[in-house]
Structure 1
Amino acid sequence: MKKLILAVVFVFAAATSSNAQVVQFGVKGGANFSSFNGDTGNIDYKNKTGFHVGAMAEIKVLPNFSIQPEALFSSQGAASDVDGVDDFNLDYISVPVLAKFYLITDRLSIEAGPQFSFLVNDSADVLDEFGEITDGYKPKSFDFGLAGGLGLKIAGGLSAHARYTIGLTEISKNADAKNAVFQVGLGYLF
């Protein structure tokens, strides 16, 4: 984790020191609609609504190509309507590093890249066959995924975004389930 943080700091520092006019910093936030994919056993998980908020930078490499690293707090998980299985709440610090291609210069873009997520909080109450809370649910502290989506610059520094992130690692040692998150929101670049 320390290496990843140092790498993100290095990218920000190198970009700002080499040419300050091509780097913009900003904030973003919005809604998450998340669930689990993969082998989830007999449980049919439903979407859980959460949120994301954090910082971003856009590093202009070419007129129609940028790198967009982000650092986001992301509340996600899955909901269940099965007796004895509560909602799964997973809070991450997510660090997507996206390649951003403008289809219409400085207006409409597609973005894709890896996402590194670090679990900071989790909660779920799963009942055993006697109706007692069991401790069998132990999420992993790291999640790796791929993100892809669209961005639209609206006016000034304001933009809208829609993104889907698919987890490639299992969320728990006890299950083959993986994160799946659809995000929509707004951002502002200064």
Structure 2
Amino acid sequence: MKYFRLILTTILLLNGPLACWSQNIGGGLSIGGIASQIDGDQWAGYNKVGYHIGGYAFYDLSDKVALQIEILHTNRGSREVNKAYGQIHLNYIDVPLLLRFGLLETDNARILGEIGPSINMLLSAKNGFKPLTADRTDLYHRFSGEFHFGSTLLFTENLGLFARWSVSFTNLLRSYPPWFTIHYFTIGGRINFK
């Protein structure tokens, strides 16, 4: 919770002054749900439900292209559902750097595409179901990398929905084998401040 407060405070403090400096700079808040899976854990399916919450800032390079950086707190992992054997909970601070580009624009809405990498810092890793969970943070790399593909539908200049598919390109585990990579789908809402 302290990380969430720190992220939110930083975004709110920086957003006001940045918006005053340039008409090309904006930002906002992002909240969404995640369905994730870890390849290599022997459990099939996007059965782990998590969340993503944070903020973003963007710089318009032109009417159609922008650079966007985000700071997000995410919860993802995997879950075995057939035997209720276990669950892997991974909490991260993610920092994606995305190229945002216009795909379609009408009088009422805009559709934007997003693509780019991120660096992620692991906050905690736990295995098992509550109350029988064990801290496994030492088994995982502290930093990992991912690639994101997504789109945003803006209903107004300030409100929109987004969908994003993400895949890691680094091994999550310190030991090899197995090779653990995660991929997940995120869907949620955005509020722009510009």
Match of 2:36 in 1: 34
**Contact 1:137 1:172 (C-alpha < 8 Å) held by counterparts:** no
**Contact 1:125 1:134 (C-alpha < 8 Å) held by counterparts:** no
Percent identity, aligned pairs only, is: 21
In 1, the alpha carbon distance for the partners of 2:117 and 2:75 equals: 18
Q: Quote how far apart the aligned CAs of 1:125 are.
A: 3.6
Tell me the number of residue pairs that the alignment of Structure 1 and Structure 2 aligns.
170
Match of 2:162 in 1: 161
The TM-score, its normalising length taken from structure 2, stands at 0.78
Match of 2:56 in 1: 56
Match of 2:72 in 1: 72
In 1, the alpha carbon distance for the partners of 2:24 and 2:103 equals: 19
In 1, the alpha carbon distance for the partners of 2:137 and 2:122 equals: 17
Q: CA 1:145 to 1:55, structure 2 compared with 1: closer, same or farther past 3 Å?
A: same
Q: CA 1:124 to 1:162, structure 2 compared with 1: closer, same or farther past 3 Å?
A: same
More strand by share: 1
Q: Quote how far apart the aligned CAs of 1:45 are.
A: 3.6
Unaligned runs of at least 5 residues, structure 2: 1-10
In 2, the alpha carbon distance for the partners of 1:188 and 1:59 equals: 16
Q: Quote how far apart the aligned CAs of 1:83 are.
A: 5.5
Q: Quote how far apart the aligned CAs of 1:173 are.
A: 2.1
Q: CA 1:80 to 1:70, structure 2 compared with 1: closer, same or farther past 3 Å?
A: same
SS at 1:169's partner residue?
Answer: coil
For 1:77-114, what per-residue CA distance to the aligned partner results, in whole angstroms no more than 9, with x for missing partners? 00014669410000000011100110124711111000
In 1, the alpha carbon distance for the partners of 2:137 and 2:19 equals: 49
* RMSD between superposed Cα atoms in Å: 2.9
Unaligned runs of at least 5 residues, structure 1: 1-8, 127-132
Match of 1:6 in 2: none
- Runs of 4+ aligned structure 1 residues displaced above 3 Å come to 16-19, 81-85, 133-137
